[in-house]
A and B are shown apart, each in its own frame.
Chain A
Amino acid sequence: MASGEIRPPGREVRAQSVDDIDLPSLERSLRQPRALFSYTMSTLAGAATILALFPLVSVLYLLVKRGVAALHLSSLSDLPPAAMALGGGFGNALVGTFVIVAIATVLSVPIGIIAAIYITEFGPETRTAAAVRFAAKVLTGLPSILAGVFAFAVVVLATGGFSAPAGGVALALLMLPTILLTAEQAIKRVPSKMREAAVGMGASPTQVVTWVILPTASPGILTGVMLAVARAAGETAPLLFTALFSEYWMSRTFPHFLPKTLGDLMQPTASLAVMIYNFSGSPFENQIGLAWTAALTLVVLILIFNILGQYLAGRSSD
């Protein structure tokens, strides 16, 4: 019994087998400094999590509580009410948001994806690629109001008025870096052995990109697009300089919510974000109520886009 030598002599007699040796307690005890530290840190981490959730939950709670009050089917379909009037809605702002975001998407998605293809597949080591990457990273941090000022100078002054396309350009500027950088990451994640397989089959560089790279990277690319759309839909500042606001539908002819000519687009256009901005400062109860409802609607829309983005991202990992 070699282990007996390190025991106090008195105990040696009683300890006949391993089972009899009085073992150190394995139970958790807060008297131990290590356990106490661990317990404290766990509690703090839990508290921090709740603290982080608090603003989100309270904003959502307030939005639902105040927003549901004025929520009717008509609030989604009617025009904004005049100062003293009752009822009304934000149908034109809803349509306007869709139109402006659609214009921004049509502008930014092709440019973003094609640029991402260039900097990953065709000229990854070129100076152009390095410049594009740097510019995109700088642009991600661009204050959104500057995007509005830029579109004001480039589109509003050039075309002579506030319009949906001007708003679209401003939002496209904000969406472009997100789309470009996420698309670059998604394309980089395509295994190089697939690229090699396609080349080995006799695919030209264009065919490699369109038949193998893009289909394989598409879930990741779509996620980036969804996140960019969700961000753009909530932007107010860039629209104040560009699309401004309108009390009316986009079209003079029935159905009024569908813009039918270029002229319908080239006029000040309502959007949910600007409507919330305008009405939240209003002295009239009805308008303030509608601002809450519009905010709820916008958050739900953005939530849908975010969930769609997450779902598409989840599919890519299968």
Chain B
Amino acid sequence: MTPTATVSNGNGHGDDTLIDCHINELHYGKFKAVRDVDLKVKKGSITAFIGPSGCGKSTVLRCLNRMNDLVRGFRLKGRVIFRGQDIYASKIDPVAVRRHIGMVFQQPNPFAMSIFRNVAFGLRLNRYKGAVEAKVEQALQQAALWDEVKDKLRSSGLSLSGGQQQRLCIARAIATEPAVLLMDEPCSALDPIATHRIEDLMKELKKRYTIAIVTHNLQQARRVADMTAFLYVDTTAGGRTGYMVEYGPTEALFENPQAEHTKQYIRGEFS
């Protein structure tokens, strides 16, 4: 017997669904990492993935722009529909997918090049023909970093502080105006002040981009997310397989969780 997901999706009409993620099984080699994740990411919203370590929330997030392709032995049974196309269909180019679904990582990872070239990187990738300077400034403005770096755009991206580096990475990701921004624990390496700035930034970015975020921090999910998915680890089958327990509007999930695991996790009853 295996636990199953309780999905309380709120509204029934799926017009504003941007990503429809349906994972039956996800394997790394022989290891079954994730099963039964079924959720819709709504356009213009922030969707959070919460759950204990090893529950596969980062893995699920990385599925959404095929970053898992880099992992040897990765196999997916299921589909991820983005704008009507299954991004795991054989005719799909993963490189093209990643240009529309950007990613911000746990560790700030600017390139060893100038701040300007970091932000312009995606524009160059896409052979952007317009005014690169204006685009770079716009992205840095949106990432709330412009005022701090406008006088030193030529200095290395690695010379910035951790919080600034993460905002630089966000600026780099949004310079090409992707439809979706995936954020894998973007604040876990940052102090509370930098975390607060990134959270404000996410709420601001929500107006233009759809965001999916993995976080360890329940309060963070509660503060920023519109929808929240709770994942948990199933050890009944012998291994450690993550699965989705519950998915719904953040308020409802935190105030009135349906599943027993969710209740316990949110009350902090897991050791």
Interface residues of A (CB under 8 A from B): 191, 193-194, 196-204, 207, 211-212, 215-216
Contact = CB atoms under 8 A, between A and B. Distances in A.
Interface residues of B, number: 27
Given A203-B125, A211-B121, A196 B105 contact: yes
B105 A198 contact: no
Contacts of B121: 198, 201, 211
A259 B236 CA distance: 78
B78 interface: no
A202 B99 contact: yes
Given A193-B109, A196-B105, A202-B97, 13 more contacts: A191-B109, A194-B109, A196-B70, A197-B172, A201-B122, A201-B125, A201-B176, A203-B125, A207-B125, A211-B125, A212-B111, A216-B111, A216-B112
Interface string B52-82: 0000000000000101001000000000000
B152 to A, nearest CB: 16
Contacts of A212: 111
A196 B112 contact: no
A199 B101 CA distance: 11
B142 interface: no
Given A197-B169, A202-B125, A215 B112 contact: yes
A199 B169 contact: no
Nearest to A316: B112
Contact of A201 (B96, B107, B173): B173
A193 B157 CA distance: 14
Contact of A200 (B96, B103, B124): B103
B109 A197 contact: yes
A44 B246 CA distance: 71
A196 B169 contact: no
Interface of B: 65, 67, 70, 95-100, 102-103, 105, 107, 109-113, 121-122, 124-126, 169, 172-173, 176
Contacts of B111: 194, 197-198, 212, 216
List the 3 closest A-B pairs by CB distance, nearest first: A202-B99, A200-B103, A202-B98
17 contacts: A194-B112, A196-B70, A196-B105, A196-B109, A197-B109, A197-B111, A199-B70, A199-B98, A200-B98, A202-B96, A202-B176, A203-B95, A204-B95, A207-B125, A211-B125, A216-B111, A216-B112
A211 B107 CA distance: 20
A199 B67 contact: yes
Contacts of B99: 201-202
A204 B124 CA distance: 12
A119 B65 CA distance: 27
A200 B184 CA distance: 12
Contacts of A216: 111-112
A297 to B, nearest CB: 38
A231 B102 CA distance: 46
Contacts of B125: 201-203, 207, 211
A202 B103 CA distance: 10
A203 B172 CA distance: 13
Contacts of A203: 95, 125
A34 B124 CA distance: 65
Contacts of A198: 111, 121
A210 to B, nearest CB: 11
Contacts of B103: 200-201
Given A193-B109, A194-B112, A215-B112, A200 B95 contact: no
Contacts of B176: 201-202
A197 B108 CA distance: 9
A193 B95 contact: no
A215 B114 CA distance: 12
A299 B102 CA distance: 53
B133 to A, nearest CB: 19
B85 to A, nearest CB: 16
Contact of B102 (A201, A204, A211): A201
Contacts of A199: 67, 70, 98
B206 to A, nearest CB: 20
Given A212-B111, A215-B113, A202 B105 contact: no
B158 to A, nearest CB: 9
Nearest to B184: A200
A198 B117 CA distance: 13
Given A197-B111, A216-B111, A202 B95 contact: yes
Contacts of A191: 109
B116 to A, nearest CB: 15
Contacts of A215: 112-113
Nearest to A199: B70
Contact of B105 (A193, A204, A207, A211): A193
Contacts of A211: 121, 124-125
B100 to A, nearest CB: 8
Nearest to B70: A199
Contacts of B122: 201-202
Nearest to A200: B103
B112 A200 contact: no
A197 B169 CA distance: 9
Contacts of B126: 202
A16 to B, nearest CB: 53
B115 to A, nearest CB: 14
A133 B102 CA distance: 36
Contacts of A197: 105, 109-111, 169, 172
